[in-house]
Amino acid sequence: MGRILNIVFLAAIAIATMLQSSSARTTYVVGDALGWLVPPGPAVYTIWAANKTFRVGDTLVFNFATGAHSVARVTRANYDACNAASPLFLLSESPATVTLDETGDYYFLCAFPGHCSLGQKFAINVSAAA
């Protein structure tokens, strides 16, 4: 009887561990220590995002000076044109937190004039949760 209980207990722990690891969410601080600002080069945020795997349920945290920057999620066409006139959403208070709630492409830029064209933008692809 004791052996059966041990096996059941170990199986329960294994299942709980698998469930916990499959529902793990990652929080990404955009730009890491740099934060969300006009970058020192045009590809800084693209390079930052390139080596990461984003999944549904992950969170992006944008740290910036409130009143000096913003976070706009835009369409691909508006991203390519650095146009924030009709964003899908616009966040202007820092820290701004975005939960990635669906699969697909996400496009972010700063809506302040000129910031996007100086490289304050990036695009990511979000995969299904593991």
Any domain includes 12: no
Q: How much is the pTM?
A: 0.82
Query: CATH no. for residue 78?
Result: 2.60.40.420
Any domain includes 7: no
pLDDT of the residue at 7: 45
pLDDT of the residue at 130: 82
Range of the domain at 48: 24-127
pLDDT of the residue at 24: 80
Any domain includes 31: yes
Q: Which residues of the chain have pLDDT under 50?
A: 5-22
pLDDT of the residue at 106: 98
pLDDT of the residue at 111: 98
Any domain includes 2: no
pLDDT of the residue at 45: 98
E strand intervals along the chain: 27-29, 54-55, 59-62, 71-74, 89-91, 96-99, 104-109, 121-127
Domain count for the chain:
1
Distance CA 123, CA 128 (A): 17
